[in-house]
Amino acid sequence: MKKQASPAFTSSTPLFPVFVFLLFIPSFHARNLQQCSSSCGDLKNISYPFRLQGDPAGCGDFGFQLSCQNNAAVLNLRGGKYYVKGISYYERTIRVVDANLANGSCALPYRSLSMEQATEDGRFPSLITFWQANFFNCSGRIPELEVNRVPCLSGNAFHVYVNFSNRNLLATEIPGTCRVISRVPTSSENELNYAYETTLKLLASGFDLRWSVECRDCHTYGYSCVYRSNNDPRIFKCETIYEEDYGVQLAFIISYLVSNSIIHKALVVRFIFLPLVVFAFLLHKCLTTRKTVVDAEKLGLNRKISTPKRYSYTEILAMTNNLEHRLGQGEFGSVYKGQLLPKGCLVAVRLLAESKISEENFINQVSSLGKIEHASVVKLVGFCSQGSKRALVYDYMPNGSLDKHIFSDSVQLSWGKLHEVGLGIAQGIEFLHTACATCVGRLDIKPRNVLLDQNFVPKITDFFLAKLYSEKYDSEHMAPELISRDYGAVSGKTDVYSFGMLLLEMAGRRRNVSESISWFYDQVNDVELENATMQARKMLVVVGLWCIQTNASDRPSITGVVEMLRGKFDDQQMPPKPVSVSAHGRTGELQSDSPKQLLIPMSTERSA
């Protein structure tokens, strides 16, 4: 059902003239800014909303700032460098050309930019012509594209071609020996493959973008941008304001005034702005007090939760370039590096091994868990379920999995950083225990399932795959209650046990630490605390030993673990030694067995 516009924003209420007045002030300010004008090379009369770097603060909009380099105006767009060839203030368009293509020389674009990427910038909501040039790198010659071969970029073993299309090409439309290496919008209006000399002239002519201050402001505050009139493609407005959004819109207008440097004027602040804020607050108080019953269904509809996108297997092959770059192999399948072609974002694609789980169950699980978002959990951005082919698409983590950093002699993190990683993982587990009730006790925590982003922030991944694959757990990290219910029921403390084993692996820097638990007790008791760095390592040991207590009731909760890792080492007491548990349920005291050969001495300091 289409939602009705809020009565709070119709002309029959006192708030309507308030909005009219507030929206009038920025417009008046904008007209004042248009009096400024500057030039750079052949580009004259650069005025509102555009400005040149170095212009007085009152000139133009800083979001539309250009720079003047070597007597040419330059626009920075999504990391690319574009020369400005002209600006139409009537049509509200700006013509730009990629810096590498401006002189008609043989080159690739300065930066790849698809049509979708160009219009994702809130400042430029639309292109005038929706055509783009696609550059291919092929391992063999393509006869039908020979006229479009780029000679300066081609060699004996590889060949670069360029053609035109009105969208991003599908994987099935790209020759098997080729891959797309760059894109750029053009002013072409047909899909003909020109001779390369003609293509050079076309690329050098650039392309037109429609600019809009209104769209930029709408995007800034989380709203979509639409045409104000179907008869005029130059003017835009924010999406319709609904009743439940009025508080957000009030904040939008206040922030808008701030961003346009209006409220710094003392007269406006004292006699106009502050009274309006007081009035808006009283109105907000009145409306929220009257609304005593919340419609749960309506609330659910209004929540904006991102859900994972479903991809076809063909799209999976396209984003991974036919499974070209494998990142790793696990018990649940192989992981490949990929790229979302429309946006250019890097992703990690896990092709899953065959499972008995039904397609409906798989999609329901993935769709539900894909809504989980936390700083210490890898974001699931998409999935594939097509016949026997199933895949998960995650955000790409450039520093790989934790095991590569704790089980390697060449790449290691400092103890302080490892302590931060441990705390981050614990916080992620604590969140998952709240956000994913069906995952509790089944998170399969181990170094291979913890990824590190560009800042070495830990991200838990694959936390539900063990459940999908008949609870196929790694025995090294498997809690005793998963072997025998004599040690307690499966619960959140089952994940605490796995996390404790991970902490000990981090402190010991090697696998199979369950065989040397007594050694950790000996080291903590025998070695003096040399400095804060060593305290960080010993903190990992003590907390880890508490987490691997045999009986679940003796382990701390994950919330308790987070508090322990945030505390001081002096406050931690050593736990009793646990007993070992075999796969058949037999128990016995853990004994020390070759600690010096198995583990790095506690006194050894390593840094990243």
CB-count burial class (<10 Å; 0-12, 13-18, 19+) for 63: middle
* C-alpha of 64 from chain center: 25
- Which residue is catalytic, options 444, 453, 495, 554? 444
Is residue 365 within 8 A of residue 405, CB to CB? The reply is no
Residue 444 annotated in active site: yes
Q: Which residues neighbour 253 within 8 Å (Cβ) at sequence distance 6 or greater?
A: 19, 22, 23
In three-state secondary structure terms, 254 is: helix
Look up residue 148 and give its DSSP letter. G
Q: Show the CA angle centred on residue 596, arms to residues 593 and 598, nearest 5°.
A: 70
Block residue for tokens 């605390």:
529
Would you put residue 462 in left (φ > 0), alpha (ψ -120 to 50) or beta? left
CB 307 within 8 A of CB 371: yes
What's the CA gap between 444 and 466, in Å, rounded?
A: 7
Preceding amide of 447 cis, omega within 30? no
Of 284, 259, 255, nearest to 15 by C-alpha is 284
| 436 three-state secondary structure | coil
Alpha helix positions (H), 351-491: 359-369, 403-406, 415-435, 465-468
Phi/psi of residue 570, nearest 5 degrees: -60, -25
Q: What are phi and psi of 353, to 5 degrees?
A: -70, 165
| Cβ-based neighbour number of residue 179 at 10 Å | 16
Chain centroid offset of residue 337 CA:
15
Strand partners, 288: none
Query: For residues 130 and 142, what is the distance between their CA atoms, to the nearest angstrom?
Result: 26
Please state, as a whole number, how many other Cβ atoms lie within 10 Å of the Cβ of residue 307: 13
Question: How does DSSP assign 281-317, residue by residue?
Answer: HHHHHHHHHH--S--HHHHHHH-----PEEE-HHHHH
Nearest to 365 by CA among 355, 558, 497: 355
CB burial of 99-115 (b: ≥16 within 10 Å; e: otherwise) equals bbbbeeeebbbbbbbbb
Q: Are 183 and 116 in contact (CB under 8 A)?
A: no
Of 24, 39, 45, which is closest to residue 90 (Cα–Cα)? 45
Which residues are annotated as catalytic? 444
